[in-house]
Amino acid sequence: MNASIKIRILLLAALLSCAAPAIAAENDALAKDLTSTISLLGLPCGQVVNVVTQAERDYIATCSDKNRYRIYLNPQGRVAAEKR
């Protein structure tokens, strides 16, 4: 393996190691936002522990109390939640 390839592999590894924490931080922020949203809608949840993105502004949130909700924007542009 020549030096150029080794350098490229090391750079790629460094970039990937930096990307993982950024993605985790985004997911943590989204989970906190969805926890607040569910609470403001008056639904039981506790804390969102897992988020699955279905589409832009359409999520499935799993709560610490095992409730699951679909959080999305309805046709009127309002945030809505439905129990799954």
- pLDDT tens for 52-77 read 999 888 999 999 999 999 999 999 98
Q: Dihedral angle at the C-alpha atoms of 66, 72, 74, 77, nearest 10 degrees?
A: 130
Average pLDDT, integer, range 14-24: 57
- Whether the pTM exceeds 0.85: the reply is no
Number of domain units in the chain: 1
Average pLDDT, integer, range 18-31: 67
The answer on pLDDT for 43 being more than 70 is yes
Burial class (CB in 10 A: 0-12, 13-18, 19+), 79: middle
- Expressed as residue numbers, the domain containing 55 is 3-83
